[in-house]
Structure 1
Amino acid sequence: MRDMGQLKRLFLDEAPMIDVRAEVEFAQGAFPGAVNIPILNDEERHLVGISYRSDGPDAAEKLGYELVAGDEKAQRLERWIDFVDQNPGTFLYCFRGGKRSQIACEWLKDVGTKVTRIPGGYKSMRRFLLDQFQNIPRLLVVSGKTGVGKTELLSLLDGSVNLEHLAHHRGSAFGRHPDPQPSQISFENAVAINFLKFTAGRSQGSLYVEDEGRLIGRIQLPQALQTAMKMAPIILLEDSLENRVCRIYQEYIVCQWQEYSLRFSDTAQVHFSEYLYTAIDAIRKRLGGVAHAEVRKLLQNALESQKSGDFEPHKTWIKPLLQDYYDPMYSYQLEKKADRIVHRGSLKEILAWSNEPTGFTHG
């Protein structure tokens, strides 16, 4: 499993994996699809760590066996076995491929359940994925004003990575979802795996990504990816202001409200209002005091109408926000990279261009 080809196959096949590290370790960084069923929970790991530092490895291992015995051991075994039964071909790992994964595999073997242990553990897999950023696929950056439908276009193009989806954030002041973003490390792992999947079996072609800044919410794009995106050719998606207002309304109001309703139920209105006010206030300085006050008042009126089931008034503040804030800001940014634009047009026009037998995606 230390062979790079085997690690690559592991991620390409989306192999089922049990991560036996403690919860706190898993939260700091994990792989898509891996399930966290610790052999030592956070508190137990902490106690074993103290013992290791004060009394040495033998004492620490002895304490670990004492902490996870009887019913505790039986419960953990049961959870591992349930997962393996439902997911044939399961792999298992700890941080470095050491004692925790070794003991877990031995316990499973004792009860007749076989899993494959990953030598080097999480650390070796993480190092392998980080190496993918040293060989990023050739990129084509999808750019365009706010609300033109870049995410929709990405979903229709052959070969794309939706960075905002992986970061669980739409990338603007209004981009956060009710549920938190993944950890920085988990995001990087997911992006690297997407790169692997794109390049598998391909000798040419470009990978489409959306034009992003350094940050997507609190997630930072890896430096190598930032550099590659800054040098990549751009395709510019265009649409009318009216269509953009409707799209923003649908994505950031209608769909977002559904998320908040599911997440918060009876208090959804309070949390949804807080989300929108916080986003508006975050761009107050760049909007200017007068414009900010006007947009905020329109938002307040829209939220009041929303209470009676009428969401349409939200469009009254979305339109001026696009015209007076997002569009001028985007035009300024686009001027600095206009020489990189290789094609521009509507969604249909860009899709037709992308399917031509010549061009950046095929050479």
Structure 2
Amino acid sequence: MEDLQALFLQDLPMIDVRAPVEFREGAFPHSANLPLMNDADRDAIGKRYKQLGQNAAIELGLQRVSGDIKATRVNAWETFARQHPEGVLYCFRGGLRSRTSQQWLYEQTGIAYPRVQGGYKAMRRFLLEQLESLPAQLRPVILSGRTGSGKTRFLRTFQQQIDLEAFANHRGSAFGTQPTPQPTQIHFENALAIAIMRKLHQGQSALLFEDESRMIGSVHIPEIFFNVLRNAPLVLMQVADEERVEISYQEYVVDNHAAFTALADGNAEAGFAAYSAYLLGSLDKIQRRLGGVRYQQVRKIMQTALEQQAATGSTEAHYDWVRFILLDYYDPMYDYQISKKQHRLVFSGSPADVREYLRDQNIT
């Protein structure tokens, strides 16, 4: 398989035969880690290679991955290949590991499964090149608005959009941490490059993005791409303060409590503990910016709300700290930030007005 663009545009299923540690550092959408060697195998064989050379390393590999272990791994590849006959397999460089996996699969099952020439390294290089060259072909429009305006929900009602926060698995603020971990920077960049490539292939160069800082939690938007976004036209969605409070309360309190409980397999006590730690930890992140007095004030309100929720199940008291954080902390920051972007502002209005404006710009 040499057509890397087709591989990503067609969402071809992929067997990644690299070790789990390599897969965790960075992989691709629609790839499954079915390794030839586990982490211990890879470490031992790598040491043998450095000490005694390639032949000795291959010999050790054949010893460690043999018998029942070999049969188990071939069975996993066979199951995947029969479920996804259109797929491919790859290792790091498209060399010995993928050739070995391909050969064993064919010998044991008769399945001739294609491998990616150049492997992960070639695919990663290809996607980095796309991130450098493709953003210049975009005509982005940036959706801005105060915290709690429901920008992400609004964005997701459009086809012509790229949801950076979804790729980052983070809502882009101090309270934006999700119950599940963020992807690595490599995972984020790979998914973003594929999304841009796919949109342009579909003829969608005019795209809506949410107004983001370069850092979204622990991952960052690549510099060349971010420079395109921060010079793009900006539309401002205006939402009443009480509606913003309601949206933020729903996301920070109701949705997150449910998500943390689900992640704890329905264990209400463990879920509530994780949810409480999320809220208090998020507040701690902005302690310095709040200042000592305001921080202690908000923390007391939040702790009281959590105690009331634990005792009665009621979440009404959370409205008090949510309103404080939005109006007293986020709004002044936003006013300063938007004052620096006035030269890019092309439209301002209600969600309905913004939708109509974007429709006129052929963004649907």
TM-score by length of 2: 0.95
Q: Give unpaired runs (5+ residues) of structure 2.
A: none
2:335 counterpart letter in structure 1: S
Instruction: Choose 282-291 or 32-41, whichever is displaced more.
Output: 282-291
Q: Is the 8 A contact 1:277 1:296 kept in 2?
A: yes
In structure 1, distance between residues paired with 2:139 and 2:128 = 17
* Other-structure match for 2:78: 81
In structure 2, distance between residues paired with 1:284 and 1:58 = 58
* Residue 158 of structure 1: how far off its partner (Å): 2.9
In structure 2, distance between residues paired with 1:85 and 1:60 = 31
Residues paired across the two proteins, number: 356
* Residue 205 of structure 1: how far off its partner (Å): 3.7
* Residue 360 of structure 1: how far off its partner (Å): 7.3
In structure 1, distance between residues paired with 2:159 and 2:42 = 45
* Other-structure match for 2:337: 333
* Residue 8 of structure 1: how far off its partner (Å): 1.1
2:70 counterpart letter in structure 1: K
In structure 2, distance between residues paired with 1:155 and 1:281 = 30
In structure 2, distance between residues paired with 1:205 and 1:117 = 32
In structure 2, distance between residues paired with 1:346 and 1:21 = 50
Deviations 1:201-221 (A, max 9, x none): 31x641211111121111111
* Other-structure match for 1:169: 170
* Other-structure match for 1:283: 286
2:193 is aligned with 1:195:
no
Q: Is the 8 A contact 1:143 1:235 kept in 2?
A: yes
Of 38, 49, 71, the match for 2:46:
49
SS of 2:146's partner is coil
Q: Is the 8 A contact 1:157 1:351 kept in 2?
A: no
SS of 2:324's partner is helix
Of 256, 267, 271, the match for 1:268:
271
In structure 2, distance between residues paired with 1:16 and 1:23 = 18
Q: Which runs of 4+ in 1 moved over 2 A?
A: 359-362
In structure 1, distance between residues paired with 2:205 and 2:184 = 30
In structure 2, distance between residues paired with 1:102 and 1:94 = 9
Q: Is the 8 A contact 1:146 1:244 kept in 2?
A: yes
SS of 2:317's partner is helix
Name the Cα RMSD after superposition.
1.3
Q: Determine what percentage of the aligned residue pairs are the same residue.
A: 43
Equivalent residue runs for 1:51-130 within 5 Å = 51-110=48-107, 111-130=109-128
* Residue 332 of structure 1: how far off its partner (Å): 0.1
Deviations 1:203-247 (A, max 9, x none): x64121111112111111111122111111111111000100000
Q: Is the 8 A contact 1:91 1:117 kept in 2?
A: yes
2:300 is aligned with 1:303:
no
Deviations 1:260-283 (A, max 9, x none): 101232312222111111111211
SS of 2:156's partner is helix
2:20 is aligned with 1:23:
yes
1:102 counterpart letter in structure 2: R
SS of 1:35's partner is strand
* Other-structure match for 1:319: 323
* Other-structure match for 2:157: 156
Q: Is the 8 A contact 1:101 1:117 kept in 2?
A: yes
1:280 counterpart letter in structure 2: L
In structure 1, distance between residues paired with 2:309 and 2:198 = 43
* Residue 138 of structure 1: how far off its partner (Å): 2.4
Q: Is the 8 A contact 2:17 2:90 kept in 1?
A: yes
SS of 1:208's partner is strand
Q: Give unpaired runs (5+ residues) of structure 1.
A: none
In structure 1, distance between residues paired with 2:285 and 2:16 = 39
In structure 1, distance between residues paired with 2:79 and 2:92 = 22
2:179 is aligned with 1:182:
no
* Other-structure match for 2:30: 33
* Residue 306 of structure 1: how far off its partner (Å): 1.1
2:347 is aligned with 1:350:
no
